Structure 1
């Protein structure tokens, strides 16, 4: 049971709703500015890196991009070494990854583009263990936030009310509340209860679904690669797959299909789907591998953006971060890294706020943070929805002229990727959020695209 009275009222307190990765990274940033950070989580956390009920998607491939790993090490120095101690593989994405893109297999060569690959459960558990060692942090488990507390004028959030499932409730006061509860965030209805508007929402859905299974590497299997990625090809080749190595000498294999072309969850159907991809290499790798799990399906993959930055007013003392604001189609692997960028943005905003306000007040922080976060979200949102708009089955609006022109240009870039080490490396740098998408429009790349378009037009005119 949580007792809010055990902490003195003079402490600066913050609450984070949700103990997933976005919430954990947010809490780590808040330890720089608050005396007590309470993480309220509806699950009970396992003592080991195991599956928990609230994260069904943890059964599937989770990629923490290079920029995300850099931020993780910045927030928790030494954490990548801890992951290495668990036997997590290290992947050089230009030499160890076989990537079948729009126009064939990408070239392979050495580079500095490397990451450690691990399961979502190990990553979250490692972060949570580091955070739990901080005496400023308190975990309140098996608890559901039911409403926001506010001052009498409802201009400021002053904490949350929590239910513990046995009809016991408690009020937890705070100077700042951060909602990191994910796609199912209830903040829109909580805002309405306080007399505020709920945010506009944009949903772009390509109706992608995927299924995953865990395998032990086949005995004596020694390929010249560590991971396989077989991409779809719009508008007709809807199927894709990824074989991803993690700790424990295991593979996670995730198969996906766009436009409700969902992979089956029975063994024969799963293998047939793998064999039907643009290359059968994933099938060849797993057909004799030992399965370590059943086959898990996941279909909640729509891009979902809540426009808090557009609200005319927000109560003070309330912030939103991670999937509570913007959830991406997971197939593009942007979610965890964007959450990490959001945590850095929070750090920057709090630092500016407290340097500008000598008395430490947080007035104006809510709107300013949501506006800054919207800038961080804009690039990955455009990348994710832009790719989803390539499919005729996608619902949720239509691409405007600029988006269509950008799609056509990037399609030409991706065609060049199979024959150009330079473009493949740049593609991976953008994908890993090390460079902005505008890097694709640099003069050297633009000239290559122009030459290719002219060559294609000449061939078609013959």
Structure 2
């Protein structure tokens, strides 16, 4: 792996310890490697030598999406990623052009855009990142080892306690928690006398079931991916059911059935087919009936969004940062988890470069400043997913079921979504926001607001089943 233009070798800061070797941990290692003498990544799994499933990443079998911004940031950290994975068959596409997308308010127009996505499976992508890390002499991966606690001395994180093949202590000068949803950092902070971060949990009871199918090399239905979202409003299966199909490498397509409000897709083949055939489109079922199923059918229901507020901790140890799902476990249905982790990792690299350029001999203050900087991308992704989930009947916030009445903000956003089915410019802005290349400020544009207000009733009825 070659050095990127955004890295500069200078005085280094000793040893960094990263908990987790998945997307967030691997991206972090690449981002911070130029600034440390040694990087030690700890993972509880025996990591596969080839793309494949592993115990510590049970969700990796499900459908994943790498947004345009996620690809841009991973490419900066792993130069050549797009070329290498495209050569392995991963489609490199304009998502606005190749995606057939039916939002809850209707079909979006398809059009060309400046965005690009790489449609590699999560298993291939994760394996590729780890394989490129092996080219870095100062990066090591310690496998079959679980982090069980933080070592904090004189107000600084100086390592982790471990169990497994490398049992005892792994000490360092900087600790990164990239361990994902199961992160124990809140417990470790509390045990060390620090406050726990405040947690917010939003659960709209989504679940999904995935299978893979082998298609002929010349398979071309006129799109490379199709997504039909639940309508949310109204009655019948279409209100809570949807699905997606996406073409990946090796002529594989991933077929995922989605359900919200506790309407979980079944795992058995006949139940899976019945679910796919129960809402508005026969295309999903036609694909399943026509092509060979490869591998098992797997379900996933651990979809609650969990936000841990590391920004507003009144006190914290120095030299400890938390990113990826460990900081904000986003509802995976919205496909921004891998991308936000990559963006966060690159932000950490930028922060370290700034310290290095300033000639700082310690990293005091970096963790607090980084968590504040990271919060910008976290809030964008969090708002994108939770604003949609708030409208789903039975949604729970911190364990309390909400009444289900839509806020004025949600009613407004629904009408903008309806307008997007008619106007390509509005549709593109929605897709750019979903791909993290545009913020959400455009939704508050005064001219757009006036237009929505003037057409409130018609747009409110548009696309409702």
TM-score normalised over the length of structure 1: 0.91
- Which of 171, 177, 180 aligns to 1:179? It is 177
Number of the residue aligned with 2:59: 57
Secondary structure of the structure 2 residue equivalent to 1:71:
helix
Q: CA RMSD in A?
A: 2.2
Secondary structure of the residue aligned to 1:160 is strand
Tell me the equivalent position of 1:329.
Answer: 331
Residue pair 2:13, 2:35 contacting (<8 A) in 1 also: no
Distance across 2 between alignment mates of 1:39 and 1:50: 19
Equivalences for residues 257-272 of structure 1 within 5 A: 257-272=259-274
Q: Which stretch shifts more, 105-114 or 427-436?
A: 105-114
* Matched positions, count: 444
Paired residue for 2:444, among 436, 441, 444?
Answer: 441
Counterparts of 1:380 and 1:457, CA distance in 2: 25
Q: Compute the displacement of 1:104 (Å).
A: 2.4
Could you list the per-position Cα deviations for residues 346-402 of structure 1 after superposition, in whole angstroms to 9, with x for gaps in the alignment? Answer: 12322333444x3420111222222222222111111111100011210016899xx
| Map 1:7-46 → 2, pairs under 5 A | 12-46=14-48
CA distance in 2 between counterparts of 1:202 and 1:196 reads 19
CA apart distance, 1:416 = 1.4
Indicate the larger mover: 361-370 or 79-88: 361-370
* Runs of 5+ unmatched residues, structure 1: 1-9
Residue 90 of structure 1 deviates from its aligned partner by 2.6
CA contact (8 A) 1:241 1:277 kept: no
Does the alignment pair 1:420 with 2:423? yes
Map of 2:354 onto structure 1: 352
Would the aligned equivalents of 1:235 and 1:392 in 2 still touch at CA under 8 Å?
no
Deviation at 1:218, TM superposition (A): 5.7
Name the counterpart of 1:7. none
For residues 458 and 332 of structure 1, the distance between their equivalents in structure 2, rounded to whole angstroms, comes to 25
Matches of 1:158 and 1:265, distance apart in 2: 45
Structure 1 residues 111-120 or 201-210, which shifts more? 111-120
Cα shift at 1:121: 0.6
Hey, what's the Cα distance between the residues in 2 that align with 1:458 and 1:406?
17
Q: Is the 8 A contact 2:91 2:120 kept in 1?
A: yes
Matched with 1:240 is 242
> How far apart, in 2, do the equivalents of 1:169 and 1:266 lie?
41
DSSP-derived class of the 2:303 partner: coil
Q: Deviations over 1:54-94 (max 9, x none)?
A: 11111111100000000011111111101011011233222
Matched residues in 2 for 1:118 and 1:454: separation? 42
Residue 317 of structure 1 and its aligned partner are, at CA, apart by 1.6
Deviation >6 Å, runs of 4+: none
Shift, 1:150, TM fit: 2.5
1:287 is matched with 289
Q: CA deviation at 1:454?
A: 5.4
Structure 1 window deviating more from structure 2 (286-295 vs 94-103): it is: 94-103
2:433 to 430, 433, 448: 430
- Residue 409 of structure 1 corresponds to which residue in structure 2? 412
Within 5 A, what are the aligned runs for 1:155-304?
155-164=155-164, 169-217=167-215, 221-236=219-234, 237-304=239-306
Q: Which residue of 1 aligns with 2:117?
A: 115
Counterpart Cα distance in 2 of 1:161 and 1:344: 27
Aligned to 2:4: none
1:312 counterpart residue number: 314
Find the aligned partners of 1:369 and 1:111 in 2 and give their Cα distance: 32
* Structure 1 Cα separation of the partners of residues 255 and 392 of structure 2: 24
Question: Which residues of structure 2 form unaligned runs of 5+?
Answer: 1-11
225-234 or 389-398, which deviates more: 389-398
8 Å CA contact 2:101, 2:107 repeated in 1: yes
Deviation of residue 303 (structure 1)? 0.4
- Aligned partner of residue 425 in structure 1, secondary structure: helix
* Conserved 8 A contact 2:105-2:414: no
1:342 to 338, 344, 347: 344
Query: 1:287: how far off?
Result: 1.8
Distance, in Å, in 1 between the alignment partners of 2:283 and 2:301 is: 24
Q: What is the TM-score of this pair, normalised by structure 2?
A: 0.91
Does structure 2 retain, via aligned residues, the 8 Å contact 1:241–1:274?
yes
